[in-house]
Each structure stands twice: as structure tokens, then as C-alpha cells.
Amino acid sequence: MVLIDTVSRYVNGVLKEESIKEESFSSLQNNMLEYPQYTRPEVFHNQKVPEVLLSGHHENIAKWRKQKQIEITKKKRPDLIQ
């Protein structure tokens, strides 16, 4: 099932283009690893979702995601940053 899902999502028409735009491997096209992902509840194992993500301010969320992509890439894969 995992293999079918993994392969079929890249067949034209299976998913909308926007659906895969921000996936991990798609993000590598701009030489960056993916930003952290959060879900509910807002606090889980003493980790709180960053306030910016709860704000609903799309521009600030995009900036935060980009900054986290840079931080994670520098830490884990500095070879990707040119």
C-alpha cells in the first residue's frame, strides 16, 4: 500500500499539483529540507505549537516555514546550501 501511494501520487491526474508542491522530496527542488509539521493538540509532550502557526497570518507563517527550512537544512544537510 505504501509503495502504491508513493508511486501513484506522481502519476498525472492522481493528485492536484498543489497537493504535492510542499512535500519533503518536492522541497528538495529548492535545495531545502522540509519545515517542522505540527498538529493538534496545541501542547503535546510539553511541546507547544509556535504561536505564529496559530495566528492564521499566512505571510508570517510562510516566513516562519522558510526560516525553519533554512535552519534544518544548515543543521542536517549543509551540503545542500550553496
* pTM of the entire predicted model: 0.68
Contact 47, 53 (CB under 8 A): no
Domains detected in the chain? 23-80 (1.10.1270.20)
Residue pLDDT, tens place only, 68-80: 999 999 999 999 8
Residue pLDDT, tens place only, 11-65: 888 887 776 666 655 545 577 888 999 988 999 999 999 999 999 999 999 999 9
pLDDT of residue 25: 55
pLDDT of residue 36: 92
- Residue of 42, 5, 50 whose CA lies nearest to 23: 5
Residues 38-41: contacts with CB within 8 Å, 24+ apart? none
pLDDT of residue 76: 93
